[in-house]
Structures are given as C-alpha cells and as structure tokens.
Amino acid sequence: MRLIDKYFPLISVTSENREALFNIDRLRFFSLALAQFILILFIVTRYNFEKSSGIIDYAPYVILVFAIYSFIAIRFRPAFLFLACVALVYAAFGILAGSFFILIGLGLILICHLPIKYTYRFVLILAIAFLLALFRTEFIYIPWMTMTAMYMAPLFMFRLIIYLYEIKNGVVPANKWQSISYFFMFPNVFFLFFPIIDYKTYIKTHLDSPEKEIWQKGIRWMLRGLIHIMCYRLICFHFLIGPVEVIDLPTMLQYMVVNYSLIIRLSGVFHFMIGLVCMFGFNLPQIFDNYFTATSFVDLWRRINIYWRNFVLKIFFYPTMFRYKKILKKNLLAFTMMTVFFITWIMHSYQLFWITGVVSVRSIDVIFWMVIGACITTNSVIVEKYTLAEDRVEKPQSEFKKYFMKIIRMMGMFLFMSIMWSLWNTRTLEDWLFIVSKGKQVDSKQLLLIFSVVIGIIGLGILVQMMLKNVKLKQLINRKPHETILLTLSTLTLLTLFSFKEIRSNIPLSVQHLYDQISDGSANKLEKTNAEAGYYDKLIEGEEGNTIGIGGRSLKKMVKKNPYTNAYIYQNNIVNRRMKPNLNIVGSDHNFQSNSFGIRDKEYSIKKPLGTKRLALLGGSYQMGSGVNNNEVFEAIAEERMNKELVDTNYKAFEIFNFAAGGYYLLQHVEIVHTSVFQYDMDALVYFAHTDERGKVVKDFTTIIKKELPLKYPFLQQIVKESGIKSYMSILQIRELLTPYADTIMKWGYKEIYEQCKKNNVVPVWAYMETTTEFVDDAEYNELKAYAESLGFVTLDLRNTYGNIDRVEIQISDLNTHPNVLGHRLIAERFYKELKLKRDSIFRIVE
Amino acid sequence: MRADINEIKETVKAFVNKRFLKNAEGKELNYSTPLISGGIIDSILAMQLVVFLEQTYRFEFQAHEVDKDNLDNIDIIAGFVVKKLNA
C-alpha cells in the first residue's frame, strides 16, 4: 500500500479506477470545464455579481475545491465537500462561532438518528429550533451565538423538514457523509437564500450521468444565471420606476410589469447556485422553466420555482390530500389546494424569518397567497374535471388560432402576475390601491400606444411560435449543454473581454455604456429609495442589520448589538425621539456616548467660557456619525483641529455642539431650534442640507402625519388643511398631496431657523453636504444656496468632498452606507477648510 | 389479490392513454415512457392515477409513495403495484 493510500485515504484513488479518473478524455473535459468555471468566476468578479455572497472573495478557493474534488475517490467526495464547507465556515466566522456553527449542525443531524421514538426526536429538534429563534430575534443576545443562528438556520430550515420526512417514511440515508454534506451544502454558505434541494434528488442524481455532461450543465446554468442578473440590471437601469412616479395608466402598467420582471434576479441567482452544485457532480433538475410564457395558473405553478413546488407537494400537498381523502367526499382537490396555499404563505414567512430575523404578518401577504391559491385551485379543478370527462372532444383549431390563443393566454397570465406581484411588493394595501387609482388617468394617445404595444406583442408572439415549428430550429434550441461547449466558451470569452476598458474603448460608445449598466451592483437603488424592497430582494440582499452571505461586509458587525437600539426616548411631538442623556454604549466596532444634554458629544458647561465661540450643528445620522466612534465623527475632528490651528487672540476656543440625530430632518430641526439650542449661548448655528432637500421634507412630513404627531406650528396645520391630507390616507397619497407644498414648507423651515437665530443673536449657517450614495445636483445646490443667502445665512459648500475615491471605500458596509472613519476624515477636512475660510463671517459678525 | 404484471402494465397503459393522452399529438406511449419527468402527468393528474390504482387493485397508497420513484413509467408502476399486492 502506498503511503498516500495509507495515511491520506481521502485523496487516495486506490479503490477507484485510477485510469478512469485520469484518462485523457476525462482530463480533456475536466480542463474545459475548469477553464469555463474560472471564466465564470472571473466574470462574477468583473461584473460585481452578488457581492454579499462572498463568492468573489473566495473564488480561488472554490476553484481549488472543485479541482481537488474532481480527482479524489468518489466515496470520499461527500466528506471532502463537508470539510471544504467547514474550512469556509472557520475562515468566515472564526474558531468560536465556527465551531458552534458546525457542532450545532452536526448535533441536529445526530438527533435525527437517535435511537429514540420519532416523536421525541422531532420535539428535540423543535426545542433547538426554538432556542435558535430566540437568538435569531436577539431575544437572547450572545453575539457569536446570534451570528451562528443567523447563518446556520438557513442551511437547515427546509432540509431538516425534508430529512425528517424521509426518515419517517423509511428512507435510510445512503451514508453519513452524504447526509452531512447535504446539510452543509458547500455553495449554500455563499448564498443563504438557497433553492430547496430535495434529499432524495441530491443523493440519486450524484453522478447519474457522465461527469462531462453534468459539468457542462452546471456551466450553462451559471452562465444563464449571470445573463439573467445582467437583464435584471438593465431592466432596473432603463425601466424601473418607483410608486411615486406612477401618474397614469401607462406608468401604472410599467410599474407593475417591471415589478414582476424583476423576478428574473431570483431566477438568475438560483440558476447560478444550482449550476454551482452541479459542478460537484450533482445532476440536479431544472429549477425554472420559462415562467414568463405560462399560459394558465396551473402552468405557472408548474414552471415557477419548481424546487419549491416539489417541496410543497411532497411535504404538504400529498399528505394533506390523503388525510382529507378519508373525511371529504367532494371537492377534495379544492380543499387540499387552498390548505396548501395557506401553508405556502406560512412557509414564506418562516423563510423570511430565518434569513432576515423579521417576523412579518402583512395583510398583503395573505391577500397575495389566497388570491394566487384560489386561482390555481380553480384552474386545477377545471383541469381535473376536463381529464375526468369521458366524452371530451377537442374542437379542431387552425394553427393560427392556436398561436393567437396561446399568446393571448400568456399575456393574460403575465398581466395577472404583474398586478399580483406589484401588490405583494408594495408597502401597504392603501399604497397599492392608490397606485391602481392612477390607472384611471389615460388619454386617447396613451390608449393608442398601449393598443399598439399589445398588437405588436401578439404579432411577435405568433411569429415566434411559427418559427418554433421549424424542427431544425427546435433542435438547435434544445441542444444539450455538452453539445454547445463552443457557444458557451465564446460567450464567456466575449463577456470577459468586454469587462476590460482597453478592449471596450474600441467599440461604439453606446455599447461601452452597457458595461456600466450591467456591472453596477447597486442597480436597484431606485427601487430601494422609492419603495420597500420586495420579498425576494429582502432574501437575496438582506436589509440593514442583516447580511445574506459570508461576503457581506456587515458580517463581523453581527457580533455585537446595534448600539442605537436603546439610545432614544420617544416623545409625542414633531421630533418624535430624543437621545437619552449620559449614554455609554459599547458596540462591536464602535462606541456611542451622549453627554448630559442628551446629544452625541463630549461634556460641555452650560455657561460658555470666556473667549470661546460656540457653534450648534443640526443634522441627521450622517452628522451624528452613525457607525463610527464619538471621536471619529467629522464634527469632533473639525472641532479638535479648530482648537489647535484656529485659536488666536480673538478666538480662544471653539465648541461645536452636535445636535444631530438619526432620523432628523428640517422639521425636527425647526423644533430643536425652538426648544433646545439657544440655552447654551451659541454664536453660530449650522444647518446641514443634503441632496433632494424638498423630497426629504415631504417624506418626513408624511411620516409625521402617519404617526399622528401633534403639529404645534400654525403654518404646518394650515398646509395640512389646504392639502387635504389625512393620517388614514396611504403614504403615497399623502406624499402626492404634499409635493406641491414641498418648496413652501422647505422655505418656511429655513426662515424659521433664520428668524430664531436672529432673535437669539446667532449667526445662521447653511451647509450642503453630499451623501455617499447620491450624486450632487448642482442646480439644486445653486438654488438652495441662493435662497439661504437671500435670507441671511452664511453658506458652506461641502460638495465633492470624497473626490475620486470609490464610494465603497468610504461606506461602513454594503448595507450601511453611512460614512466610515475615512469618510468622516474627508468630511472633517472639508468642513474645517470651509469654517476656516468663513471664520470671520461666522463668528465675528455678532461681535 | 393477485395480478399478472403484464396485465397490470396493459391496464395502466390503457388508463394513461385514455385519460392523459387522449388528444395528445405525436405522443406514443410505451412501458418506459417517462410520465412524471416527461410532463405527461403532473401533481393533480398523479392523484387520478393513484385513485385508479387504489380502486382497481384494492390497496392503499401512502402519501410518500406518490413519487416519481413509483409512478414515473408503466414498468415502474406495475412493479410497485405487484410489490404492494404482495406486501
């Protein structure tokens, strides 16, 4: 026995046919697969696909695992895959959390096989799940355990259900390593939101076809996934509109159709994941089947997320039907289907909970699932009756009529799903009804346009169906992945070349821009700013405080609780929340202290020391320094520098009081100016404005109205009266009614701040600062600046503060885009320069 | 109840032809034609086949047995029926 066989059985191929593993033919196909796989991961990196997944960071590791895996003995492969996953977990989470992750996981699998009654095993697992849920909701907070629950639960949430079901029904696991590798599925660590892979399918499809075919299938699906994601980005870039932009029937239709089209991102990500699993020899079946071309509800149910449907059928549909069969004489199918759709809704909430930690029970979800369920049920009952009819005869139809009817049905289904999808992904039912109400506004030109588009689609649909009748074309489309290697390879090469600026510069500018559009990872920014992210967006990319893969830069921040959770006292006035005084919160990556005045700043005396100049700073979370330590906030840095470099006989010291807090906008500042600022004997006050100042005023006022906070200012009461807004209206409707008053409200706010400053002999300063996610609107800046100056504000220009630095470099994380330490340093530098430049106007004017 | 496997195959074939392939063009059914993986039978139609087999051969299906492993083609179905009858 060779040493390698004796001591390293995992990589030994003694028991395998060594010649089979290393024969020239296999090596040739492996090299081809490897080359394509490298290109795929290179494209993922070059086009910034799903950064949070971490697949970009670990791409070389994935390739290495694939290469080794492909040449070790088949019987050792499941164990190797598990070890590859373990190494990844340790690399990402560290020893403590990583060990807990692995041990809890192994423990759960072990419980499934304990020699005790099935019911006891089930109860034990439920108890552990309950415990993990307490961590997931942060009800119990032990940092590394919370993080473990967050990342481990998605791996087990469905697979445990399937596994227990199989064990209950007598399916004996093939071997322990296969079971372990099923739970610790290697690619799942990258994508926590993962397709539900069936246990039996996972086991049975392993190397059930020649490896070269499975590899090529994996490559094709990963490429298809990338193309879907590119399409998603293009749709976002060119067609996506927010709910506030819906003004008439065409925009309403655009909003709905585009909303549904964005499901292409889900199919893209899922194709990529399944393709990745295929690379390890699992010949998994198709997950989506041209769902946009569904011609009926049942057809859609068959085509969309096939893995989910199979899971529901296996675990819920058949068991429910067999149970009902014993008690129901009639309408068995209808009752079963409706029960199953009710469970489907629950399972979607269950999934959302384990991935994001959010317990969501929305009326919209109930409506969505019940309407979809009722439609599929009705359709199923019709199908059942039709097949049961003994004397059914289909009327002969002309080919043209068949094509016509098919495209009409497709369009009907697409429109129906677009309507339902827009409902599901809109914040509230009131908002959705408001959007729908816009559909009444349409003129004859728009109707003609819609009619023309419909006719065009019908014509195109008929033409495509006629073309698909061509046998040769059909064969070409249906060619198996290993028969189209050349096409796949050339597509990958083209995409790779296209990602290089030097090569792109030789092609027309319009095509060059395509790269910017498909490589921009923040393509759904508009969607985020205008509407609540849809169900699948929440799962794919997470929300603030969550990260959906080991690549999320928020990962390490999970270790400790958000320091701001208990930092505020809530009040029934416009400000709504005020910072608690004397806070000292220790967070994972930054600390948070407030002084005895209840502001995030160091301690100052109430009475101003002689010769000191005081500046009050009004702002939101940017100015408060969300995500960084107190001494790293730009205000603190600028103050320190001023006290080092700007003091002279006229200015003995400077004190900047930071009144900023998260969620404060203009209206809150008006209230603070009226109630808090001037008791500290200020010399100047700086108000920070951001991009889209009017839009922010409208959003903030809407929140105040929805929360029914009392409006003490007659001006604001008058606006409410004039605009006709009511707190029960939808957010979108309130915003629309307030928008015409945005300018008036903003100007009133500026004037109020100015008047109060004048009354208290304080110099008003207006500063304009760019955020890390928005680009400066120079026209808006000039306009606002001119208005502020006309009132008597001294103005500071903090535009283009970050220079040419990539915005990612100055953001806290991909989910928390507030400035990081570097960002604050840059802002401080600029703020200091501006203050220095205008020092005499700011501090001397009142002397 | 005892039944000949070839007889079962013929009975099931006749049922599938009549119920599921009546108007299907160009679909020729043989004993190895994939029914579930080939898209001829879906979840709803599978239940019709289950009811037919239960009534014809007087045995009871379990929910987990409604599966591609037992119903994917006529050969498999016949083998499953025989196994159930002999159980």
Q: Is residue A111 in a domain?
A: no
From chain B, pick out residues whose CB is under 8 angstroms from the CB of A309.
43
A230-263 pLDDT, tens per residue? 999 999 888 988 888 899 999 999 999 999 998 9
**A846 has pLDDT over 70:** no
Burial of A455 (0-12, 13-18, 19+ CB in 10 A): exposed
Q: Is residue A614 in a domain?
A: yes
From chain A, pick out residues whose CB is under 8 angstroms from the CB of B48.
384, 387-388
Name the 3-class secondary structure at A577. Answer: strand
- Predicted pLDDT of residue A393: 67
Query: Using CB atoms, which residue from A165, A317, A322 is nearest to B43?
Result: A317
Fold of B5-86: 1.10.1200
Q: Is residue A651 in a domain?
A: yes
Task: Give the distance, in angstroms, between the CA of residue A527 and the centroid of all CA atoms in the same chain.
Answer: 10
Task: Report the number of distinct structural domains present in chain A.
Answer: 1
CATH number of the domain within which A591 lies:
3.40.50.1110
Q: Which residue has the tokens 């921009």?
A: A520
- Predicted pLDDT of residue A78: 92
From chain B, pick out residues whose CB is under 8 angstroms from the CB of A298.
42, 44
- Predicted pLDDT of residue A591: 83
* A421: confidence class by pLDDT, cuts 50, 70, 90: very high
- Predicted pLDDT of residue A556: 47
ipTM of this complex prediction, to 2 decimal places: 0.91
As given in the structure block, the two tokens for residue A434 are: 């408001």
Asked if the Cβ–Cβ distance from B66 to A318 is below 8 Å, we say yes
How many C-beta neighbours within 10 Å does residue B33 have?
A: 17
A746-802 pLDDT, tens per residue? 999 999 999 999 999 999 999 999 888 877 888 999 999 999 999 999 999 999 888
CA–CA min distance B43, chain A (Å)? 7
Query: Using CB atoms, which residue from A169, A313, A388 is nearest to B43?
Result: A313
Asked if the Cβ–Cβ distance from B43 to A388 is below 8 Å, we say no
In angstroms, the CA A60 to CA A34 distance is 12
- Predicted pLDDT of residue B27: 62
In angstroms, the CA A204 to CA A840 distance is 79
Asked if the Cβ–Cβ distance from A321 to B48 is below 8 Å, we say no
* A55: confidence class by pLDDT, cuts 50, 70, 90: confident
Q: CB within 8 A of A554, min separation 6: which ones?
A: A542, A545, A546, A547, A813, A814, A815, A816
- Predicted pLDDT of residue A157: 94
A482-510 pLDDT, tens per residue? 899 999 999 999 999 999 988 888 888 88
Q: Is residue A283 in a domain?
A: no
Question: Measured on CA atoms in the order A113, A116, A122, A124, is the torsion positive or negative?
Answer: negative
* B26: confidence class by pLDDT, cuts 50, 70, 90: low
**B15 has pLDDT over 70:** yes
CA–CA min distance B20, chain A (Å)? 7
A113-157 pLDDT, tens per residue? 999 999 999 999 999 999 999 888 878 877 777 777 888 888 999
Asked if the Cβ–Cβ distance from A392 to B22 is below 8 Å, we say yes
- Give the residue on A whose Cα is nearest the Cα of B67: A314
* A568: confidence class by pLDDT, cuts 50, 70, 90: confident
Domain of residue A597: give its range.
Answer: 569-843
As given in the structure block, the two tokens for residue A74 are: 């088949």
Asked if the Cβ–Cβ distance from B63 to A321 is below 8 Å, we say yes
Is the pLDDT higher at A756 or at A806? A756
For an interface test with A, the pick among B21, B61, B64, B69 (most A C-beta atoms closer than 10 Å) comes out as B64
Q: Is residue A839 in a domain?
A: yes
CA–CA min distance B64, chain A (Å)? 7
**A559 has pLDDT over 50:** no
* A663: confidence class by pLDDT, cuts 50, 70, 90: confident
- Predicted pLDDT of residue B1: 56
Question: By percentage, how much of chain A surpasses pLDDT 70?
Answer: 91
From chain B, pick out residues whose CB is under 8 angstroms from the CB of A165.
64
Asked if the Cβ–Cβ distance from B64 to A388 is below 8 Å, we say no
Domain boundaries, given as residue ranges, for chain B: 5-86
From chain A, pick out residues whose CB is under 8 angstroms from the CB of B69.
200
Asked if the Cβ–Cβ distance from B47 to A387 is below 8 Å, we say no
A332-350 pLDDT, tens per residue? 999 999 999 999 999 999 9
DSSP string for chain B: ----HHHHHHHHHHHHHHHHSTT-SS----TT--STTTTSS-HHHHHHHHHHHHHHHT----GGG-SHHHHSSHHHHHHHHHHHHH-
In angstroms, the CA A704 to CA A702 distance is 5
- Predicted pLDDT of residue A6: 52
Asked if the Cβ–Cβ distance from A383 to B44 is below 8 Å, we say yes
From chain A, pick out residues whose CB is under 8 angstroms from the CB of B66.
318
Asked if the Cβ–Cβ distance from B48 to A384 is below 8 Å, we say yes
